[in-house]
Structure 1
Amino acid sequence: MTKNGEIRIYVACLAAYNNGYLHGAWIDATLGENAIWDQINEVLKTSPMPNAEEWALHDYEGFEGLNISEYEGIQSVVEKAEFIKEHGRLGAEIVSHYGDFDTAKRALEDDYAGQYDSLADFAQEITEETSEIPIHLQHYIDWERMGRDLEINDVLAIDMGYREVHVFWNR
């Protein structure tokens, strides 16, 4: 997101742009479809070119790496903005992993196992929750290797930086 947390788009009037004028406005993408359309119409109405009707998205900020195309529909922009507002960078990372917005939403809703310091911590937690490990064997377990094995077959790990690993079950 931007420094002040805004998720926004820059809408430009194409009639003005094609005639050498920069005319547009930054619009908060979380306002909702109707409010965004009202602001787009205001940009067109105040254009230096008479009867301006066409517009395009010339820039965007705060979408945490999600791509917004120049002619993306406003409904799609709002949906992505609300998703990023709720899930932040993790949401963008999971969309990037799956390459599909709907699959990413399902993964966050249905498959999210939690945030851990490491995949080894996740392996240790689920093992200790589901099995009783004799005290004399606890120091011989290689949690890091178990975590790697889980990642190969059973989980998706999104490493977001120092001591921040988000784990999703593969289904």
Structure 2
Amino acid sequence: MTDEIRIYVACLAAYNNGILHGAWIDAQQGVEAINADIQKMLRASPIEGAEEYAVHDYEGFEGLSLSEYEGIQQIVDKAEFIAEHGTLGAELANYFGDLESAQTALEDHYAGEFHSVSEFAEQITEETTEIPESLRFYIDYERMARDLEINDIIAIKLGFDCVHIFWSH
């Protein structure tokens, strides 16, 4: 994860006249500070009276996307969420489509980090059921994992041997 979560805000008056003018702005500094930085960038524009801007780039959002005309409050909210939850938070926000649902999943539905979904299936089976030794080798945890993913869980894979499991209900 990058240390900086920032946006590149471009002056549209300059851009429409073939001039690249903008500034990288720290997205975690709050709405008022970001607006002040945007106004400072617009005042320094080579096009007199520049007023309009757009977000042309961003870094550190861990795969969470921003639109060109994203509201500053939404940018700050996303930056703070990513600063707190990193790539897992971004993946959840992308999955659910909003930060509130992603936050709820993290707080109320998180089952843990596992090497695989089948490891999770094996763990919950052994915690909740006494399995006779004679049947232990007949249990197919891969198929149980598939069924869990279809019906009961959300599995967020962040890399090889790194799966975060959330109950879907």
- Structure 2 length as normaliser, TM-score? 0.89
Within 5 Å, which residues of 2 pair with 1:20-169?
Answer: 20-169=18-167
SS in 2 for 1:127: helix
Structure 1: gaps spanning 5 or more residues: none
Query: Shift in Å at residue 68 of structure 1?
Result: 0.9
Give, as a single letter, the amino acid of the residue that structure 1 aligns with 2:47: M
Give, as a single letter, the amino acid of the residue that structure 2 aligns with 1:134: P
Once the two structures are superposed, residues 6-37 of structure 1 have per-residue CA deviations (whole angstroms, 9 ceiling, x without a partner) of 22110112222223322111111122212211
Give, as a single letter, the amino acid of the residue that structure 2 aligns with 1:149: D
Q: Would you identify which runs of 4 or more consecutive aligned residues in structure 1 move more than 6 Å? A: none
Query: Shift in Å at residue 63 of structure 1?
Result: 1.6
Distance 1:33 1:69 in 2: 17
Query: Shift in Å at residue 136 of structure 1?
Result: 3.6
SS in 2 for 1:160: strand
Query: Shift in Å at residue 138 of structure 1?
Result: 2.7
Which stretch of structure 1 is more off in the superposition, 99-108 or 28-37? 99-108
Which stretch of structure 1 is more off in the superposition, 136-145 or 17-26? 136-145
Q: Percent identity?
A: 63
SS in 1 for 2:159: coil
- Structure 1 length as normaliser, TM-score? 0.88
Once the two structures are superposed, residues 36-58 of structure 1 have per-residue CA deviations (whole angstroms, 9 ceiling, x without a partner) of 11211211122222232221111
Distance 2:98 2:80 in 1: 16
Distance 2:150 2:11 in 1: 49
RMSD in angstroms over aligned alpha carbons? 1.8
Count of residues in correspondence between the two structures: 169
